[in-house]
Amino acid sequence: QAAVAPHTAVQPVALRFSDARPPVSAAAAYIGDMNLIESLWAIVRARGLTVTVKRLPVRPVEGLDRREVSELVRRDIAAALGVPQGL
């Protein structure tokens, strides 16, 4: 909503975490009832964790609501990570 209200474009970024268990690591997953401290602790404990950062094309938001922007950006990131649609 912070980008939608002032019509500020959104910069999507895809992050892929990898460790000794290819192709991706679950160490950085923020799942279910996990809190921030638990998530950070899992990241700190992970051995050989690396992150690949991919900046994606900027998305204009004018005329879209926050849910539409969220879905567009989610699709962009999923495509960049090679995640099949619908997941």
What digits encode the pLDDT tens for the residues 16-48?
Answer: 888 776 667 777 777 788 888 988 888 888 888
Looking at per-residue confidence, does 52 or 22 come out higher? 52
Side-chain-side CA neighbours of 10 within 13 Å: the count stands at 23
55: pLDDT strictly greater than 60:
yes
Statement: residue 80 has pLDDT above 90: yes
Q: Is 63 left (phi over 0), alpha (psi -120 to 50) or beta?
A: left
